[in-house]
């Protein structure tokens, strides 16, 4: 049996993996990322701080005081709302990268109502108007790219990105217009602030958190149980199938983006009306981008997404404390650590979808099917991409594969028919599940 | 007017670097939304390289300073590009998400790195000296050539380097076998694979080289256009420039030669607000809107016209897995 040139590493798609195992892989990736960041930060710190102080600072920054805890929950709620707004669009593969701009427009509309009408109209009337205006502004900002996407197939990711900057410039314009002598900053407005639930940070944060809980439940039901949700996921899977099933794709795209924009506007309403009482050009806090990562890492599932956004905000809040404790002047440290987490988290998807076969152990025989299953099972547990699998990981991890074994057996007779050197051999295996992009 | 055009060119080259880098990347079928972060990395790396040299010697050599800046910018940016390439080519992750992660990481890293590592005591004066004297050293005698000298000969090294790279990229893509193969990989990787083109190799090379070129854009902004004056919000500015560079790719229809022209137009639009006299403080943001609005209009027009020649590479944004059917 001549083997001219067999690649050392051979990659095939694997059968859908049990949930616990995929969660384990993701968890492992996050742990590795955290350890890497801890080593990096404690090594580069100008102060004498050790590896474990890092985790101490991280937790104290996020949970240290009651105020920090409420801020953590509040920011989680805001980020989750943005991510939920984006997820309805992502489910149909509409890359709405304009979350920042939509939130900013919501902020701006809300601040306009407060600036022009606060103190002149009764508060409840202004509140109502703020609510309506913010949601509308967000929706308008989202629906413009959607209309062009629906009718002309305009590249929506770049369109929404540019809309971010248009929103940013508009906010700067209005701040300069209202406070011409200022430094581009707006003082908090005292009129028409949204009511709080009692004193302290808890009272200020609770309304935001409540809204987020309600929105999460609504989106969960909307995507899961409503006809709209079904249409959205069908379009995401295949536009042609959706069309064939009689769905008006254009209508659904526009309708979904209105919905997405409304939710972003709602976040703007909360940010200005309830949290900050003013608007600034960086008020979106880059939540549009972070929200995308949350939606992606949460597999478009609102419940997992709430966990992910909690984790991201936990890191952001915690890293602020790490910066202070470790003697760094730049707050951007959290972006680095969060970025590392993203890299590892995104990268580990590979090991969930694909199997890696190492060919150096089967030079002589052609027992590829048995080996490949074993190799795949081993690889599932190991994280770093370059590492060869540990042979002793086989028994423990192999259990998860047991229910897949019967499905794989009928493929065995197929394989010997293909030339051994043919790299396309793996392609002969039936693959029912397409890669989800 | 001549001064305005000269500024437009020297600012436009920043876009040009990012745009040419992104064109190379997209020609291999990868939409790299990490370009803003990668350009930031270039700025961070370039400043770092220049810093360690000018702080180490009493009388720094001009040419060496520029070369070191370019080298470090390319290494830093190329490194982030390589991470992107590894994640999207080898691990076949979603390109949009990976790109955004690169941007978040790159911008954060740059902000951190510049404020904590590069800008230590006494560096800013030396950096601005290096920027003014070395990176922006004029061609001798340019002052005597009137408007021609101002527009074409008054620029620093990086401007000419940018235009040279754009022309070289245009020639490679259009007239060489390497370019043909690269375009084949971007159009249909399965077919390219079938004729024996090393798809993975081409993708890695195109993405990493593209990232390194884009990184020069960051260097060009900090050391070239800003004369080595490193503000604390430099990462935010470069991020905005980076997004525009990606949009410029569509504006210039994936053609590096056209990108030279397009980037000068964008540069002119970008600096317009500081050259129009008699505008008030509050109108500046409205003028800053123009490049973004123009980009949106171009996006709409190219999508409506929808000519065959103006389409992106066919497999842009799709991961290639050989065993897929």
**CATH assignment of the domain containing A241:** 1.10.3470
- Residue A224 pLDDT: 87
Q: Do B288 and A158 touch (CB under 8 A)?
A: no
Over range A183-211, report the average pLDDT.
78
Q: Do B96 and A166 touch (CB under 8 A)?
A: no
Q: Which domain holds residue A186?
A: 65-315
Residues from chain B contacting residue A284 (CB–CB below 8 Å): none
- Residue A399 pLDDT: 41
Residue A308: inside a domain: yes
Alpha helices in A64-122 (DSSP H): 66-90, 99-117
CA angle B180–B181–B185, rounded 5-degree value: 120
- Residue B120 pLDDT: 75
Q: Using the predicted structure, report yes or no on whether residue A437 has a pLDDT greater than 60.
A: no
Q: Using the predicted structure, report yes or no on whether residue A266 has a pLDDT greater than 70.
A: yes
CA angle B245–B251–B253, rounded 5-degree value: 110
Same structural domain, A268 and A378: no
Separation CA A50–CA A41 (nearest Å)? 9
| Chain A residues 343-402 with a CB less than 8 Å from chain B | 343, 346-347, 349-350, 353-354, 385
DSSP A327-346: T---TTHHHHHHHHHHHHHH
Same structural domain, A243 and A385: no
Same structural domain, A306 and A411: no
Q: Using the predicted structure, report yes or no on whether residue A199 has a pLDDT greater than 80.
A: no
Whether A180 and chain B come into contact, CB under 8 Å, resolves to yes
Same structural domain, A283 and A414: no
Residue A37: inside a domain: no
For residue B294, the chain A residue with the least C-alpha distance is A162
Whether A7 and chain B come into contact, CB under 8 Å, resolves to no
Same structural domain, A395 and A298: no
Separation CA A250–CA A261 (nearest Å)? 16
Residues from chain A contacting residue B299 (CB–CB below 8 Å): 148, 154-155, 158-159, 162
Over range B188-193, report the average pLDDT.
89
Separation CA B290–CA B313 (nearest Å)? 28
Residue A144: inside a domain: yes
Alpha helices in A156-199 (DSSP H): 156-178
Q: Do A332 and B108 touch (CB under 8 A)?
A: yes
Whether A328 and chain B come into contact, CB under 8 Å, resolves to yes
pLDDT tens digits, residue range A366-411? 444 444 443 333 344 344 444 444 444 334 343 433 334 444 444 4
Whether A334 and chain B come into contact, CB under 8 Å, resolves to yes
Q: How far is A382 from chain B (nearest CA, A)?
A: 15
Q: Identify the H or E element spanning A13.
A: strand A9-13
> Each residue of B12-39: b (16+ CB within 10 Å) or e?
bbbbbbbbbbbbbbbbbbbbbbbbbbbb
Last residue of a domain, one of A315, A341, A376: A315
Mutation target vs A (from B84, B200, B253, B296; most A CBs, 10 A cutoff): B296
Whether A9 and chain B come into contact, CB under 8 Å, resolves to no
Phi, psi angles (nearest 5°) of residue A12: -130, 165
Lowest mean pLDDT among A142-151, B5-14, B150-159: B150-159
pLDDT tens digits, residue range A202-255? 778 888 888 899 999 999 998 888 888 888 888 888 888 888 888 888 898 999
- Residue A346 pLDDT: 86
Residue A108: inside a domain: yes
The CATH number of B2-310, from 1.20.120, 1.10.287, 1.10.10, 1.10.3470, is 1.10.3470
pLDDT tens digits, residue range B174-190? 999 999 999 999 888 88
Q: Using the predicted structure, report yes or no on whether residue A77 has a pLDDT greater than 80.
A: yes
Task: From residue B136, give the alpha-carbon distance in Å to each of B60, B156, B200.
Answer: 15, 4, 39
Q: Number of folded domains in chain A?
A: 2
Residues from chain A contacting residue B251 (CB–CB below 8 Å): none
Residue A95: inside a domain: yes
Same structural domain, A299 and A375: no
SS3 annotation, chain B:
CHHHHHHHHHHHHHHHHHHHHHHHHHHCCCCCCCHHHHHHHHHHHHHHHHHHHHHHCCCCCHHHHHHHHHHHHHHHHHHHHHHHHHHHHHCCCCHHHHHHHHHHHHHHHHHHHHHHHHCCCCHHHHHHHHHHHHHCCCCCCHHHHHHHHHHHHCCCHHHHHHHHHHHHHHHHHHHCHHHHHHHHHHHCHHHHHHCCCCHHHHHHHHHHHHHHHHHHHHHHHHHHHCCCCCCCCHHHHHHHHHHHHHHHHHHCCCCHHHHHHHHHHHHHHHHHHHCCCCCCHHHHHHHHCHHHHHHHHHHHHHHHHCCHHHCCCCCCCCCCCCCCC
> What's the whole-number average pLDDT of chain B?
85
Task: Note whether B238 and B110 are within 8 A (CB).
Answer: yes
Q: Using the predicted structure, report yes or no on whether residue B78 has a pLDDT greater than 90.
A: yes
Q: Do B292 and A97 touch (CB under 8 A)?
A: no
Separation CA A333–CA A269 (nearest Å)? 29
- Residue predicted with more confidence, B71 or A422: B71
Residues from chain A contacting residue B91 (CB–CB below 8 Å): 346-347, 349-350, 385
Same structural domain, A133 and A71: yes
Residues 6+ apart with CB under 8 A from A404: A15
Q: How far is A236 from chain B (nearest CA, A)?
A: 15
Q: Do A158 and B247 touch (CB under 8 A)?
A: yes
Separation CA B257–CA B255 (nearest Å)? 6
- Residue A364 pLDDT: 52
Residues from chain A contacting residue B90 (CB–CB below 8 Å): 350, 385
Whether A173 and chain B come into contact, CB under 8 Å, resolves to yes
Same structural domain, A121 and A237: yes
- Residue A264 pLDDT: 92
Mutation target vs B (from A144, A180, A328, A332; most B CBs, 10 A cutoff): A332
Same structural domain, A150 and A255: yes
Same structural domain, A281 and A148: yes
For residue A11, the chain B residue with the least C-alpha distance is B323
- Residue predicted with more confidence, B226 or A216: A216
ipTM: 0.87
Q: How far is A429 from chain B (nearest CA, A)?
A: 9
């Amino acid at each position: 049996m001549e083997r001219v040139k067999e690649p050392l590493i051979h990659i095939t798609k694997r059968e859908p993996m049990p949930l616990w195992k995929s969660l384990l892989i993701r968890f492992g990736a996050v742990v590795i990322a955290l350890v890497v960041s801890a080593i990096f930060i404690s090594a580069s710190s100008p102060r004498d701080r050790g590896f474990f102080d890092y985790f101490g600072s991280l937790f104290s920054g996020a949970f240290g005081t009651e105020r920090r805890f409420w801020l953590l929950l509040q920011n989680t709620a805001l980020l989750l709302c943005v991510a939920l707004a984006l997820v309805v669009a992502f489910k149909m593969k509409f890359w709405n990268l304009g979350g920042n701009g939509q939130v900013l427009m919501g902020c701006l509309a809300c601040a306009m109502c407060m600036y022009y009408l606060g103190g002149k109209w009764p508060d409840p009337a202004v509140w109502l108007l703020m609510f309506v205006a913010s949601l509308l502004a967000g929706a308008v900002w989202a629906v413009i790219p959607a209309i062009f996407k629906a009718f002309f197939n305009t590249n929506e990711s770049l369109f929404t990105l540019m809309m971010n900057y248009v929103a940013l410039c508009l906010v700067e314009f209005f701040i300069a217009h209202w406070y011409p002598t200022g430094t581009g900053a707006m003082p908090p407005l005292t009129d028409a602030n949204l009511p709080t639930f009692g004193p302290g940070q808890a009272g200020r944060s609770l309304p935001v958190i409540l809204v987020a809980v309600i929105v999460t439940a609504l989106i969960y039901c909307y995507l899961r149980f409503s006809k709209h949700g079904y249409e959205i996921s069908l379009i995401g899977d295949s536009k042609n199938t959706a069309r064939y099933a009689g769905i008006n794709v254009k209508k659904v795209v526009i309708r979904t983006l209105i919905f997405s924009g409304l939710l972003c506007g709602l976040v703007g309403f909360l940010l200005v009306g309830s949290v900050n009482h003013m608007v600034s050009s960086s008020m979106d806090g880059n939540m549009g981008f972070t929200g995308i990562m949350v939606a992606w890492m949460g597999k478009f599932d609102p419940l997992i997404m709430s966990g992910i956004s909690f984790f991201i905000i936990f890191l952001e809040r915690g890293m602020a404390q790490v910066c202070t404790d470790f003697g760094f002047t730049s707050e951007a440290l959290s972006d680095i650590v969060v970025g590392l987490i993203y890299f590892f988290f995104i990268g580990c998807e590979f090991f969930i979808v694909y199997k890696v076969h190492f060919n150096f152990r089967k030079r002589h025989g052609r027992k590829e099917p048995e080996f490949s299953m074993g190799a795949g099972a081993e690889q599932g547990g190991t994280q770093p991409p370059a590492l060869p699998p540990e042979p002793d990981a086989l028994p423990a991890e192999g259990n998860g594969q047991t229910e897949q074994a019967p499905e794989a057996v009928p493929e065995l007779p197929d394989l010997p028919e293909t030339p051994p050197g043919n790299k396309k051999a793996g392609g002969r295996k039936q693959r029912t599940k397409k890669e989800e992009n | 007017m001549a001064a305005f055009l000269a500024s437009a060119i020297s600012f436009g080259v920043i876009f040009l670097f990012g745009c040419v880098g992104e064109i190379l990347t997209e020609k291999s079928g990868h939409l790299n939304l990490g370009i803003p972060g990668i350009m930031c990395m270039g700025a961070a790396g370039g400043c770092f390289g220049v810093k360690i040299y000018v702080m180490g010697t009493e009388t720094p050599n001009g040419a060496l300073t520029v070369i070191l800046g370019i080298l470090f910018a390319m290494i830093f940016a190329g490194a982030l590009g390589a991470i992107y390439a590894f994640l999207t080519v080898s691990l076949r992750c979603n390109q949009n998400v990976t790109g955004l992660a690169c941007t978040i990481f790159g911008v954060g890293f740059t902000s951190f790195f510049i404020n904590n590592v590069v800008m230590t005591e006494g560096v800013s004066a030396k950096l601005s000296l290096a920027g003014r004297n070395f990176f922006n050293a004029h061609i001798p005698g340019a002052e005597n050539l009137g408007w021609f000298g101002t527009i074409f000969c008054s620029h620093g090294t990086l401007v000419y380097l940018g235009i040279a790279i754009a022309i070289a990229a245009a020639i490679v893509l259009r007239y060489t076998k390497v370019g043909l193969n690269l375009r084949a990989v971007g159009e249909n990787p399965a077919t390219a694979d079938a004729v024996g083109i090393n798809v993975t190799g081409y993708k890695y090379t195109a993405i990493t080289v593209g990232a390194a070129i884009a990184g020069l854009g960051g260097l060009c902004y900090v050391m070239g256009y800003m004369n080595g004056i490193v503000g604390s919000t430099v990462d935010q500015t470069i991020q905005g420039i980076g997004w525009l560079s990606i949009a410029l790719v569509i504006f210039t229809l994936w053609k590096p030669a056209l990108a030279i022209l397009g980037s000068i137009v964008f540069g002119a639009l970008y600096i317009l607000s500081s050259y129009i006299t008699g505008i008030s403080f509050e109108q500046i943001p409205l003028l800053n809107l123009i490049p973004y609005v123009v980009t949106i209009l171009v996006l709409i027009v190219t999508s409506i016209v929808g000519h065959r020649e103006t389409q992106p590479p066919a497999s842009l944004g799709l991961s290639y897995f050989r065993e897929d059917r």
